[in-house]
Amino acid sequence: MSVVLNEEKLSTFQNYESAVRSYCRSWPTVFGRAKGYKLYDEDGREFIDFFAGAGALNYGHNHPKMQEEMVNYIKNDGIIHSLDMGTEKKRNFLERFQQIILKPRNLSYKIMFPGPTGTNAVESALKIARKVTGRKTVIHFTNAFHGMTIGSLSVTGNSMKRQGAGVPLHYTVTMPYDNYFPGANTAEYLEQFLEDRGSGVDLPAAVILETVQGEGGLQAARDEWLRKIADICKRWDMLLIIDDVQAGCGRTGTFFSFEQAKIEPDIVCLSKSISGSGLPMALTLIKPEHDRWQPGEHNGTFRGNNLAFITAAVALEYWKTEQFSMEIREKAALVTKRIADILDKYPQLQGEARGRGLMQGIAIPEEGLAQKISKQAFRCGLILETSGPKDEVLKFLPPLIIDNEGLHEGLDIVEQCMKFVLSK
Amino acid sequence: MSVVLNEEKLSTFQNYESAVRSYCRSWPTVFGRAKGYKLYDEDGREFIDFFAGAGALNYGHNHPKMQEEMVNYIKNDGIIHSLDMGTEKKRNFLERFQQIILKPRNLSYKIMFPGPTGTNAVESALKIARKVTGRKTVIHFTNAFHGMTIGSLSVTGNSMKRQGAGVPLHYTVTMPYDNYFPGANTAEYLEQFLEDRGSGVDLPAAVILETVQGEGGLQAARDEWLRKIADICKRWDMLLIIDDVQAGCGRTGTFFSFEQAKIEPDIVCLSKSISGSGLPMALTLIKPEHDRWQPGEHNGTFRGNNLAFITAAVALEYWKTEQFSMEIREKAALVTKRIADILDKYPQLQGEARGRGLMQGIAIPEEGLAQKISKQAFRCGLILETSGPKDEVLKFLPPLIIDNEGLHEGLDIVEQCMKFVLSK
Amino acid sequence: MSVVLNEEKLSTFQNYESAVRSYCRSWPTVFGRAKGYKLYDEDGREFIDFFAGAGALNYGHNHPKMQEEMVNYIKNDGIIHSLDMGTEKKRNFLERFQQIILKPRNLSYKIMFPGPTGTNAVESALKIARKVTGRKTVIHFTNAFHGMTIGSLSVTGNSMKRQGAGVPLHYTVTMPYDNYFPGANTAEYLEQFLEDRGSGVDLPAAVILETVQGEGGLQAARDEWLRKIADICKRWDMLLIIDDVQAGCGRTGTFFSFEQAKIEPDIVCLSKSISGSGLPMALTLIKPEHDRWQPGEHNGTFRGNNLAFITAAVALEYWKTEQFSMEIREKAALVTKRIADILDKYPQLQGEARGRGLMQGIAIPEEGLAQKISKQAFRCGLILETSGPKDEVLKFLPPLIIDNEGLHEGLDIVEQCMKFVLSK
Amino acid sequence: MSVVLNEEKLSTFQNYESAVRSYCRSWPTVFGRAKGYKLYDEDGREFIDFFAGAGALNYGHNHPKMQEEMVNYIKNDGIIHSLDMGTEKKRNFLERFQQIILKPRNLSYKIMFPGPTGTNAVESALKIARKVTGRKTVIHFTNAFHGMTIGSLSVTGNSMKRQGAGVPLHYTVTMPYDNYFPGANTAEYLEQFLEDRGSGVDLPAAVILETVQGEGGLQAARDEWLRKIADICKRWDMLLIIDDVQAGCGRTGTFFSFEQAKIEPDIVCLSKSISGSGLPMALTLIKPEHDRWQPGEHNGTFRGNNLAFITAAVALEYWKTEQFSMEIREKAALVTKRIADILDKYPQLQGEARGRGLMQGIAIPEEGLAQKISKQAFRCGLILETSGPKDEVLKFLPPLIIDNEGLHEGLDIVEQCMKFVLSK
């Protein structure tokens, strides 16, 4: 299938919307419907979704049971907006999250609704870590992405986004992520800075990290590196914050991305797919001993999105058994295999496999090449994003509910676009 | 009506939710349904809503046309989550906002979707002001409230919230709001600091303010003060940012709260009632000459909430004629009159009338008294918040679509609770 | 006397020295000798000194006893440089300062040698105030001047100097000095910010101030204002730091400038004239209960300047009786009288008398006029500086040991230059 | 010789001086005279000086010609204190520095007098680097020491000193110094952070470093590492600031410590031994193209210390020929040899040779051991400091004019004290 682009249909956005808009530039069409792992623009063109709302649509578009429950609730005048008042649907979500997610994993966290987006969760995590420890500095890692508000931006690596702040960013120290320096153990690097009383790194309140860096180029930390970081946090009495906004909610094959490494963070940030439906929602999970907030010390108008609580509770159904995890891992293996084949077949790409779970991709060193492939993919009916500091990584992020047929179809388009771009 | 409180029904929240929760402490019940200006808890008890989701429900709960359009959209697999991709519903909203709001007011703004909450709008406004001017300092005012993320918190006055940051807040200077010092023109104070090369106030990038301070105690700035501030901004080449998150969307009787003062801000922040339905949504309006963002320099996962776009477009219908504005002003006059009567009747309160439009209230100097009245009001079936640095202001914030009967009923409860509390 | 200027003799400075040099631009000659209240350039031209090394030469140039003791010490191989090791001359200074200055005034301070300049004293004062209180913010005042290093600069008002930092300055809040707003009590202004939990001013660690602002334009705070500030500090548990670098050592008629107001600061900064001879030396006086330094927590190579200790001890002789104080006050009265006469005689100046003690001057509103007079004064044999944010204040700062003849001679030149400049 | 300690003679310091005092604790006596490389306490006990005023006395104590010129100047009423006015002695120093130091080395620098101490020089260097580049961040290195005022402290590594600030320190990034990680090239680490647009290190204004870290434990950077850093600065358009306060003025065998590496810094900070006599003085050398100060943008009362200019000019005589350099290098070789012998002889020390030139020492891993040796050395008549983050390095810093006999005598005491301490 080939899409005929019509720039005119975007004139409303060009005329009225701020220059900051971006995705509508990459995928220049106007979308109308979406179902499962497919999107449709207003002219009826179909796209396979290898983007999943940047990780916000792990359960696909318009899940039928979510639709049904939302419709019933709306029709029955269910309360929509409730701040942090008690509501039936919030209570239901809290109980299910406890029973289905926390309890079976032997995890004990207090649940905070910090506002409906990932950056709200990160900001609240930084606040509580600083409050609990009485310290200020937070360690983050190269190519980390944690959000656009000043607190979150100060632990984000991307220089363009940082400059967008318009002010220097404080109270944070950047450290090399796993595998940053070839041959070096960067966790030891961090530890030496902490051990040395003359290093210039003041004792931090916390370390914040993504186990797989979604925006940073699909860098996946090794389990032993994560454990070493967790050990360092314990030794130095720093809180470990896992930002699981993109890698959580099953994206890597387990509900939390850190389960495989057998670490237990002090604070976990969840958002994106936590509502299941793409509706704005976020959680901050806080170990009970660190839940030292005063009532209302952090607040926000949209903490209580009841439609999101409804669909979030439906999404949790997937986690009642091991079945869903197993399926994700099988699909991940398929993607790994296809990537290996592609790298074999196109050595001229000098590509590098990246990521894990259904959060894999290919890094392509030649500047601009990944972006060309992504652009061509759109023309061929595939929504496919790039990431990394130079947009050098093709990022395969389909809804987790995609079937093998969909995966193959999408990866076939990727391969065909590579071939096309390399041939030019 | 008298509510029998049942603390047990809140045990889920007590057990699983973070200590930061607050509104569920003030109004200890579990809500289920809501319609117009009324809420119902799961036991069927009815409450008049003088709170309106802290200003997020200006058009009341579950507006029938909004419900209908949401249900149809969901049933037809309309795309729900779209980041800043083009969608039919986003285009429709953009066009209507242009036609119904901006054009008739001769206002020219580029529209930015900064993420779905007020603090996202404020953070983006601060960023663009700093970028455009190349300066860093932002002037804010005593008792300002702009949000909980670090950028917004740094222009917020409340000391408890500021301490929640866990780090000192930078790049901002607090100045006295209108009427802060009895008998002094505080705009002249600000100007003297700017004029004096030895004042220690570095030339700012921007001034941010609310025309009526919702959280800060319903302080309403006078039109001439606002115009003086706007003049100062022009003279010193600083951007004027109006945070209209709470006072906007008709709350004071005009769509924008600053219309009456005849000023034209450089940047306007909207959220809360912009979606009309209580769904998370926010806008940053930027004068075209200041729209100097790079694509993607500020982003966020939940910028594209299509259900919110749908209900936001329905809400704009109210603004096609002058009718709605007139009605709000009539109701506001009724509230003003009732407040005057109350102050007359209960001189022992030493109360002070505050606010304007449907954003009025009564400041009560005796510490704790306003909170007691608010607590009693809940028992009597009225949802009524306090605000101000010491929670000393009773805040009447009903949905704008409330009728006179509802207003009287609510204010009768207020009066009856005052009497009750004063008699003890 | 009229000086013929010879720019060529300054070529060495122009060729080799940085553009930052300033006084050699105001007084374009090369000085050789100095004695008492007179300077001589290398061509033998004599100048009356109304500048006194910006307050560093209160006891005049080359005091004979100081010369004698320095020469003897040098000749006998006395140790010159000693960091904070114990030396005979340091011990002697400590004992005399205790006996002559602190004890008779019932003052109890630990003496810190923070490095040899005023800014070292201020930096150490800010550190200890923050350490003792555990808070960060320091209140300073409009047109304050406390030094050029980043800590001191952050409590300095002058915008040109602040911009020189090249970075925004943090942890400080500027408040209006006494008489800043006509008709307003600025101490109450400060107090309201502290009382209001929503003011945006976080509870400060300390207040730092000069009782008379030397660089800021010879603003002298009233005694009752100083007492009110001292009360506020007590009430809010903030430390009161008096920067007596320029106004101390007798400049206002008492050894400490704050004696007249009968306040007792928590920390006092002394430098400039403390060595008596113009040699670099500074002290930080700390109330014993606040002396919570760890050994070496603040250090510096030039804390132990033994030549300075010697001349400082000689200077203290002046304070053994009340005689010196009385003489200063008499001379101050003479200056006050002459200023009043001048303002009478030249109403077109629209001049305003400023300052107190031998730290008086005339503010002249017409931009550039004070500087013209100062320039002309140099040509006529008088060294006379301007101060204030626009260099609008003529500053009469002679050595305290000047006699009446010298004062009249200098003020005659001032008057003659005014006449000359006004006539052009 | 064995010193009998008399704590009572220190009672004045204990009673009157702040707890921050430190060297008088290490060397508990009261010094009186000093000559060449020897100090004498008031009881006539002699000490060999392996400390040299922490590097401020490279030319020894009380150099006869310096004494003579100071005495003559004082006797003839030479002007002592002159801020940055032109004086004969300042002109003379400027001309000699140009002729003897800069010209023969083909170096072109504007000379700034930033105030009389090293930290003044560093603060001014940071300011000008930020002004020239318009950027804020300055890179410093682990275990760097640059001074105690907030600007300098923010580029200093020592955590105790940093905490003394009482506020978090901003606008700086710490990077690993040469040899920080065994086997890693830390200059490449730095470069990778700069190259990676996602590293979180914002493009810096400058890099500041000591070629040999005096306080940081006598770490000496390799020439190739210094050249690599200089290259990185050029490539990224950052200024290279060499803090030569301790390592300069001949300490490493050349006047500037960076001559051997053949690099040309943009800014050089000099202090400590620049006056030659231990009198407070400092210089900031600025490449002419970076000398973009406004007049008076940085100032200070004690910039013009004419006694220091006199002795500084005498000290420059040493640099008229190559002779002095050669002698230093010969003595350095002697020290290197003795250290190697000691390490051989006492393998149980597990000692490591550190430093270069007459700035060498021995790192001893066992905690507290170096301090015990230093303490014992004092008892045996040797002034010997420790340095490094855990005070683990014995630091041999004699005056450069010491003779071989003095060196041997001092090192004999070191060895004897080691033996004594190891035997206990």
For D175, phi then psi, to 5°, come to -130, 155
The Cα of D128 is separated from the nearest Cα of chain B by a number of Å equal to: 19
> How many helices (H) and strands (E) are present in chain A, helices listed first?
14, 18
Average pLDDT, chain A: 96
Chain C neighbours, 3+ Cβ pairs < 8 A: A, B, D
Nearest-CA residue of chain C relative to D49?
C82
Does 3.40.50.80 match the CATH number of domain A7-63+323-422? Answer: no
- Cβ of C406: how many Cβ atoms within 10 Å? 20
The Cα of C167 is separated from the nearest Cα of chain A by a number of Å equal to: 9
Contact D61 C55 (CB under 8 A): no
Contact A16 B167 (CB under 8 A): no
The pLDDT tens digits for B174-199 are 999 999 998 899 999 999 999 999 99
Please answer whether residues C249 and C328 qualify as being in contact, where contact means their C-beta atoms are separated by less than 8 angstroms. no
Q: Which residues in chain D are classed under CATH 3.40.640.10?
A: 79-319
Structure confidence at residue C424 (pLDDT)? 83
Q: Which residues in chain B are classed under CATH 3.90.1150.10?
A: 7-63+323-422
Q: Which of B137, B192, B217 sits opposite C181 (nearest CB)?
A: B192
The pLDDT tens digits for B375-386 are 999 999 999 999
Provide the pLDDT confidence category of residue B5 given band limits of 50, 70 and 90: low
Candidates D25, D38, D167, D275, partner chain C, best to mutate (most C CBs within 10 A)? D167
User: What are the chain B neighbours of C156 within 8 Å (beta carbons)?
Assistant: 200
Residue among A395, A313, A413 nearest A354 (CA): A395
Contact C157 B181 (CB under 8 A): no
The pLDDT tens digits for D39-75 are 999 999 999 999 999 999 999 999 999 999 999 999 9
Contact C217 B198 (CB under 8 A): yes
Please answer whether residues A181 and D184 qualify as being in contact, where contact means their C-beta atoms are separated by less than 8 angstroms. yes
Indicate the SS3 state at residue B350.
Answer: coil
Contact D167 B167 (CB under 8 A): no
Provide the pLDDT confidence category of residue D9 given band limits of 50, 70 and 90: confident
> Complex ipTM, two decimals?
0.97
Chain B neighbours, 3+ Cβ pairs < 8 A: A, C, D
Name residue B306's amino acid. N
Is the confidence at residue D337, as pLDDT, over 70?
yes
Query: Helix D404-422 crosses helix D323-345 at what angle (to 10 degrees)?
Result: 20
Contact B197 C390 (CB under 8 A): yes
Question: Among A4-18, B234-248, C332-346, D6-20, where is mean pLDDT lowest?
Answer: A4-18
Candidates D130, D136, D160, D174, partner chain A, best to mutate (most A CBs within 10 A)? D174
User: What are the chain D neighbours of C291 within 8 Å (beta carbons)?
Assistant: 18-20
Report the pLDDT averaged over residues B223-233. 98
Contact C86 D29 (CB under 8 A): yes
Count of pairs with CB atoms under 8 A, one residue in A, one in C: 3
Contact A159 D192 (CB under 8 A): no
Among all chains, which residue has been given the structure tokens 């579990």?
Answer: B30
Q: Does A9 touch chain B (CB under 8 A)?
A: yes
Report the pLDDT averaged over residues D314-343. 98
User: What are the chain B neighbours of C389 within 8 Å (beta carbons)?
Assistant: 196-199
Chain A neighbours, 3+ Cβ pairs < 8 A: B, C, D
Nearest-CA residue of chain C relative to D167?
C136
Rounded Cα distance between D132 and D238, Å, is 10
> CB under 8 Å, gap of 24 or more: what pairs does B160-164 form?
B160/A294, B160/A296, B160/A297, B160/C197, B161/A297, B161/A298, B161/A299, B162/C200, B162/C202, B163/A297, B163/C202, B164/A127, B164/A131, B164/A293, B164/A294, B164/A297, B164/A298
Contact D390 A172 (CB under 8 A): no
CATH T-level fold of C79-319: Aspartate Aminotransferase; domain 2 (3.40.640)
The pLDDT tens digits for A122-154 are 999 999 999 999 999 999 999 999 999 999 999
Structure confidence at residue A172 (pLDDT)? 97
The DSSP secondary structure of B174-192, one letter per residue, reads: EEPPTTSSTT--HHHHHHH
Structure confidence at residue D5 (pLDDT)? 53
Is the confidence at residue A257, as pLDDT, over 90?
yes
Contact C197 B160 (CB under 8 A): yes
Report the pLDDT averaged over residues A52-62. 98
Contact D279 C18 (CB under 8 A): no
What is the pTM for the complete model shown? 0.97
CA end-to-end distance (rounded Å), chain D:
20
User: What are the chain D neighbours of A140 within 8 Å (beta carbons)?
Assistant: 200
Report the pLDDT averaged over residues A70-91. 98
Rounded Cα distance between D99 and D108, Å, is 11
Contact B200 C170 (CB under 8 A): no
Helix or strand run (H / E) with residue D233: helix D223-235
Residues 159-178 on D with a CB inside 8 Å of B are 167-168
Provide the pLDDT confidence category of residue C3 given band limits of 50, 70 and 90: very low
The pLDDT tens digits for C357-375 are 999 999 999 999 999 999 9
The DSSP secondary structure of C272-313, one letter per residue, reads: GGGGSSS----EEEE-GGG--PPTTSS--TTS-BHHHHHHHH
User: What are the chain B neighbours of A289 within 8 Å (beta carbons)?
Assistant: none
Report the pLDDT averaged over residues B203-209. 97
Count of pairs with CB atoms under 8 A, one residue in A, one in B: 375
Structure confidence at residue D278 (pLDDT)? 98
Q: Does A296 touch chain C (CB under 8 A)?
A: no
Q: Which two tokens stand for residue A293?
A: 């907030």
Rounded Cα distance between D189 and D184, Å, is 8
User: What are the chain C neighbours of D245 within 8 Å (beta carbons)?
Assistant: 301
Sheet with B352-356, edge to edge strand ranges: B352-356, B359-363, B393-396, B385-387
The pLDDT tens digits for C42-97 are 999 999 999 999 999 999 999 999 999 999 999 999 999 999 999 999 999 999 99
Provide the pLDDT confidence category of residue B1 given band limits of 50, 70 and 90: very low
Report the pLDDT averaged over residues D124-129. 98
User: What are the chain D neighbours of A136 within 8 Å (beta carbons)?
Assistant: 168
Structure confidence at residue C5 (pLDDT)? 53
For A416, phi then psi, to 5°, come to -65, -35
Contact D136 A202 (CB under 8 A): no
The DSSP secondary structure of C151-175, one letter per residue, reads: HHHTT---HHHHHTTSS---SEEEE
